[in-house]
Structure 1
Amino acid sequence: MTRETLKAEGASLTIHLDGPVWDGVQAATIGDVAFRDPQAGAALLGDALARIRAAGRDRVLGPMAGDTWHSYRFVSESDGSKPFLLEPSNRPEEPAIFADAGFRPVAHYFSARMALTGEDPPPPPADARFRITAWDGAAPEDLFREVFALSCAAFAGNAFYTPIDEAAFLAMYRPVMPMMTPDLILLARRPDGSLAGYLFAIPNLVEGPKTKTVILKTYASLERGAGRHLIHACHKTARAMGFETVIHALIHDDNISAERSRREGADVFRRYALMGLPLDV
């Protein structure tokens, strides 16, 4: 069995034996962590590691629900503000339980907040390779098939990347589609109509239907410079729609997106860590 859920009184987790490659070998992952009772959680984590070791895996990542397409990362630092829509969250003691078992951070991420006040900054220079438009709201499944193909190409070089099939990708996004605002789905298309990049932003609906905060959730591109154009268009559109704050969500510390966020003047309010543990099999 490559996936197994373990439960005890006050704790649960799921083991995925076929996780991403780490240090050149396939790692197992531990996700869906819920340690309501810290002592029970520590014991269950020890049980999970024993099972992973017995299965022959010598690397473990966590928290991660199998791959980076699904939920992963612990909150490691916070200003105390409430979680935003689709943000990973955890009990404060859970990272310490993993650390006590020998896990150490192997990747760091952050979310940053920026005010959408004042005038729109000048747009980037026009680029004949692509044009930025908002999604018209039609044929969402067709759009997401395009997004899936581009995402596979754009993310393939990322650390801990694991491919998934189109059906799994569409199943993952279908529940989110009704929450999406077409004007905040921005597309960079080449002159031949093919997709060169995309950006998904979504209102922070946990604050209610009249939220003034928008979340820049995901963007990717295959043309150099398209990301800069997509971000500018997102901020401009969000201002015009009456949003007052944008969240640059869940950015890897070493990603080019991190430098873009800093240049825009966004302030970090949350940090996250993915943890890893080498095992002696």
Structure 2
Amino acid sequence: MTEYRVESFTPREAPIAEFFALPQRIDGLSDQQARAEAAGTRALLDPGNTFYRNAESRSFVVRRGSSAVGRLTAFHNRLLAGEHRRFGLVGLFACENDATAARLLVEAASAWLGEQGLDAMRGPMAGDIWHRWRFMTRGFNTAPFPGEPRNPEHYPELFNACGFAAVRTFSTKTVVDLQGQLALLSVAADLNAHRGYHYRNIDAANWEQDLKHVYELCRHSFASHWSVTESTSEEFADIYNRWLKRCGPENIVLAIDSRSAVVGLGLSMLGPADTLNIRTIAVLPHCSGFGLGQAIVAEHYRRAIAAGLKRVQHCLMGPTTPPQFWDRGLGQVTREYAMYERSTG
């Protein structure tokens, strides 16, 4: 009979080397992807990360015989409050298609979170929404876009087998009629032009100051969204410095009001080469209600059309977020994702 055992470590303890190697073998990452994944994971689990001012974590590795076959990290993010239950988080999941191994990981994480006084857990989420979260559940045959959650098809099945239930779904829509979509957005675009709003790229020569604008936009725009907790400015800068530079300044659009204040953000990325992926739309609360978000998206469509791109994807949208309805039927849902919850007991 094959024996299983679970080992663990905290950020202040010596890590288990296999924890960082498992995703390449199980998820099929390239060498470059594996290096990036491991670097991001090590940064998140570094005890010096400002995330740990308000959080704790414990990471687990399960072995079948002598071989490591799965990993999982449990997070107690003390800023995750105001919920109907006391939630912990589980993320950084990687596991062979082995229900016993997955169950042992989840049980170990559940026990640790229970010791922290938490009665439920949510995942996959690596500490907060500013890091990796969600499983893809549909669209595995599509070409990935930058930053999209990608996982083996058996991961959602393993979570279900471990007692998790999907509680929140997300989707990506693909639009191929760019001119038609721009026409639908033109009413909001014209209204906000008359209100004095205009747009500029993030300023590469003034990067740190504009990054502060992006931080404040995300901080205030998403504060009331599901499962959002505040990130420190240092942690945000560490994550988004690399991320925004991958986008390129021309794909980071800032909305400017009549007093020259930065009040909105539209972030997109290319990939595949003929596709623009709209990743983030953020508007300060006092500027919402007049379609500024739609106007920012219209600006991205203008640029996509001018560049000769063939499609635009509206990425990772929550089920009731306004962008879900801006396409008015022009968009086709091509990928879906989910978040899961279960009790710690």
- Give the TM-score normalised by structure 1: 0.90
Cα deviation digits, residues 103-123 of structure 1 (max 9, x gap)? 111211100111155575373
Amino acid across the alignment from 1:196: V
Q: CA deviation at 1:181?
A: 2.5
Deviation, structure 1 residue 22: 6.6
Partner residue, 2:13 = none
Give the counterpart of 2:298 among 210, 232, 240: 232
SS at match of 2:204: coil
Check whether the contact 2:140–2:153 (CA below 8 A) recurs between aligned residues: no
Indicate how the Cα distance of structure 1 residues 21 and 78 shifts in structure 2: closer, same or farther if over 3 A, else same: farther
- Paired residue secondary structure (1:175): helix
Aligned-partner Cα distance in 1 for 2:328–2:61 = 45
Aligned pair 1:49/2:103, yes or no?
A: no
Does the 8 Å CA contact 1:151/1:220 hold for their aligned counterparts?
yes
TM-superposition CA deviations, 1:223-254 (whole Å, max 9, x none):
23210110111011011112111111100011
- Aligned partner of 2:88 in structure 1 is 28
Output the CA distance in 2 between the equivalents of 1:18 and 1:171. Answer: 19
CA shift at 1:185, angstroms?
Answer: 1.6
What are structure 1's unaligned runs of at least 5 residues? none
Query: Which deviates the most, 17-26 or 2-11?
Result: 17-26
Residue 305 (structure 2) pairs with residue 244 (structure 1) = no
**Counterpart for residue 215 of structure 1:** 277
| Structure 1 residue 90 displacement after superposition | 1.4
Check the 8 A contact 1:68/1:160 in 2, yes or no.
yes
Q: Where has structure 1 moved over 4 Å in runs of 4 or more?
A: 116-120
Whole-Å separation in 2 of the counterparts to 1:230 and 1:264: 20
* 1:72 aligned to which of 116, 133, 136: 133
In the alignment, the residues of structure 2 paired with residue 97 and residue 21 of structure 1 have an alpha-carbon distance, to the nearest angstrom, of 28
Check whether the contact 2:97–2:158 (CA below 8 A) recurs between aligned residues: no
Secondary structure at the aligned position of 1:215 is classed as: strand
Determine what percentage of the aligned residue pairs are the same residue: 23
- Between the aligned partners of 1:33 and 1:89, the Cα distance in structure 2 is 12
The answer on whether the counterparts of 2:91 and 2:127 sit within 8 Å (CA) in structure 1 is: yes
Selected match of 1:266 from 327, 331, 341:
331
| Displacement of 1:78 | 1.9
For residues 103 and 150 of structure 2, what CA distance do their matches in structure 1 show? 18
Report which of the two has the higher share of helix. 2
Of 119, 122, 131, the residue aligned with 1:58 is 119
Aligned residues: 274
SS of residue matched to 1:239: helix
Structure 1 segment 76-87 matched on structure 2, within 5 A: 76-78=137-139, 80-87=141-148
Match of 1:173 in 2: 240
Q: CA deviation at 1:42?
A: 2.5
Deviation string 1:142-198 (CA, Å, 9 cap, x unpaired) is 111111012111111111110111000000012223322322221111122111101
Rg comparison, structure with higher value: 2
Greater relative contact order: 1 or 2 (C-alpha under 8 angstroms, separation 6 or more)?
Answer: 1
Specify whether residues 232 and 144 from structure 1 end up closer, same or farther in structure 2 by C-alpha distance, changes over 3 A only: same
Q: CA deviation at 1:264?
A: 6.4
CA distance in 2 between partners of 1:98 and 1:22 (Å): 25
Mapped to 2, the partners of 1:47 and 1:179 lie a distance apart of 37
The answer to whether the Cα contact below 8 Å between 1:150 and 1:197 also exists between their aligned partners in 2 is yes
**Pairing 1:110-189 to 2, within 5 Å after superposition:** 110-115=171-176, 117-118=178-179, 121=183, 123=186, 124-125=189-190, 126-189=193-256
How far off is 1:59 after superposition?
1.4
1:29 CA drift (Å): 0.5
